Amino acid sequence: MLLLGGTFFGSDSDFPFGPFRMYATRNAPDGVVSSLRLEAVDTNHQRIAVTAGSVGLRRAELEGSLPRMESDPALMKTIVVRYEKNNPDQPKIIELDVIVRKTRLKDGLETKSFKDEVVAKWTKP
């Protein structure tokens, strides 16, 4: 009964009794897809890519945390701490950006048309 009710009225947070949205929807062939990435600035003022794996998280965990990071960027310090713990030989991070790239599709294929937007920013005090 839970499975049946969750199928029609559930969300990702109800999994496994609700649908896992990532596999239950698709993008329009001429629509827009969004992808999230993390970029940091280190103490050498170099911009670096921060992968989900380098902070001990899965990409889906980062994407699921996006609303909280947008409303409270101070939460992003946890990501910085994890990065520095997992990469002790790298320079320290002084700024971390969450960037969402929106890419336009044409006939289901990526085009060269995209827009990057910084949706959350943490800066070392």
Q: What pLDDT is attached to residue 19? A: 57
Q: What is the pTM of this model?
A: 0.74
- In this structure, what are the phi and psi dihedrals at residue 42, rounded to the nearest 5 degrees? -95, 180
Taking residues 41-49, what's their average pLDDT? 97
Query: Does residue 10 surpass a pLDDT of 60?
Result: no
The most distant pair of C-alpha atoms in the chain lies apart, rounded to whole Å, by 57
* Better-predicted residue by pLDDT, 117 or 26: 117
Task: Give the residue from 31, 28, 27, 5 showing the smallest Cα distance to 18.
Answer: 5
Q: What pLDDT is attached to residue 24? A: 55
Query: pLDDT tens, 60-95?
Result: 888 889 999 999 999 999 999 999 999 999 999 999
